[in-house]
């Protein structure tokens, strides 16, 4: 089976994290979460971590050059060549999408699919309020969702224009959603 190269998109509270774990189990690919990579750098106290921490605290975006460098290095490793990759949290800007396309192209590769886990704003808001985390005030939730919309709507168009966007209905039990996600992956490689 040829290694898959996939992107997963979804609002906070869409179940994207759960679906990413299941997908990487099912298809055996490397899970590359740029949020996890940055959190690891913060925990390790590296120079990158120190720079990223301040930005992450205020919910901003770490610079494209830094993010593109992290992803480029990770994609160059043998495990990705052998097993494929699921990119989670990247690309987040058009510049990152262009950089991803360029780096894959250099290796003679392209993306197979961009999975968009679609859960309406009202539903993710209710889910986040339900889990009752202290940073989940209605105001904070709405701000994060607005930012996501601003940053990610153009990316949906970017993937759509390349015939890569697969929007999956993310409302329902995690098992049901996973079946839909797997079907979308299978269609992309058919
Ligand atoms: P996440 O876990 O994907 O929500 O990411 C947590 C935080 O890390 C984000 O709020 C950003 O500050 C930063 N981050 C993660 N991925 C990226 C990216 N691709 N570009 C810029 N900043 C990012």
In sequence order, what are the beta bridge partners of 10?
Answer: 117
Distance CA 143, CA 40 (A): 25
Q: For residue 62, how far is its CA from the centre of ligand 1 (angstroms)?
A: 7
Distances (CA, A) of 188 to 3, 21, 114: 13, 19, 9
Q: For residue 72, how far is its CA from the centre of ligand 1 (angstroms)?
A: 16
Q: For residue 89, how far is its CA from the centre of ligand 1 (angstroms)?
A: 6
Q: Does residue 56 line the site of ligand 1, with CB under 6 A?
A: yes
Distance CA 3, CA 85 (A): 8
Low-confidence ranges of the chain (pLDDT < 50): none
* Atom 2 of ligand 1: nearest residue by CA position: 35
The residue whose CB lies within 8 Å of the most ligand 1 atoms, and thus the one to mutate among 20, 33, 35, is 35
In sequence order, what are the beta bridge partners of 118?
Answer: 169
**pLDDT at residue 90 in the model:** 96
In tens, the pLDDT along 135-172 reads: 788 988 898 899 889 988 899 999 999 999 999 999 99
Distances (CA, A) of 3 to 11, 75, 109, 111, 175: 26, 13, 10, 10, 24
**pLDDT at residue 76 in the model:** 95
């Amino acid at each position: 089976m040829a290694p898959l190269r996939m992107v997963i998109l979804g609002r906070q509270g869409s179940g994207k994290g759960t679906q990413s774990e299941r997908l990487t189990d099912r298809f055996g690919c490397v899970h590359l979460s740029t949020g996890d990579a940055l959190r690891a750098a913060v925990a390790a106290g590296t120079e990158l971590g120190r720079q990223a921490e301040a930005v992450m605290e205020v919910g901003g975006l770490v610079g494209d050059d830094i993010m593109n460098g992290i992803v480029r290095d990770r994609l160059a490793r043998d495990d990705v060549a052998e097993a494929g990759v699921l990119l989670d949290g990247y690309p987040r800007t058009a510049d990152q999408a262009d950089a991803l396309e360029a780096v894959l192209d250099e290796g003679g590769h392209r993306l197979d699919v961009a999975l968009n886990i679609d859960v309406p704003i009202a539903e993710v808001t209710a889910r986040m309020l339900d889990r009752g985390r202290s940073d989940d005030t209605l105001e904070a939730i709405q701000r994060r969702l607005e930012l996501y919309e601003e940053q990610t709507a153009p990316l949906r168009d970017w993937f759509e224009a390349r015939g890569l966007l697969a929007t999956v209905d993310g409302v329902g039990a995690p098992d049901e959603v996973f079946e839909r996600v797997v079907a979308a992956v299978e269609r992309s490689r058919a």
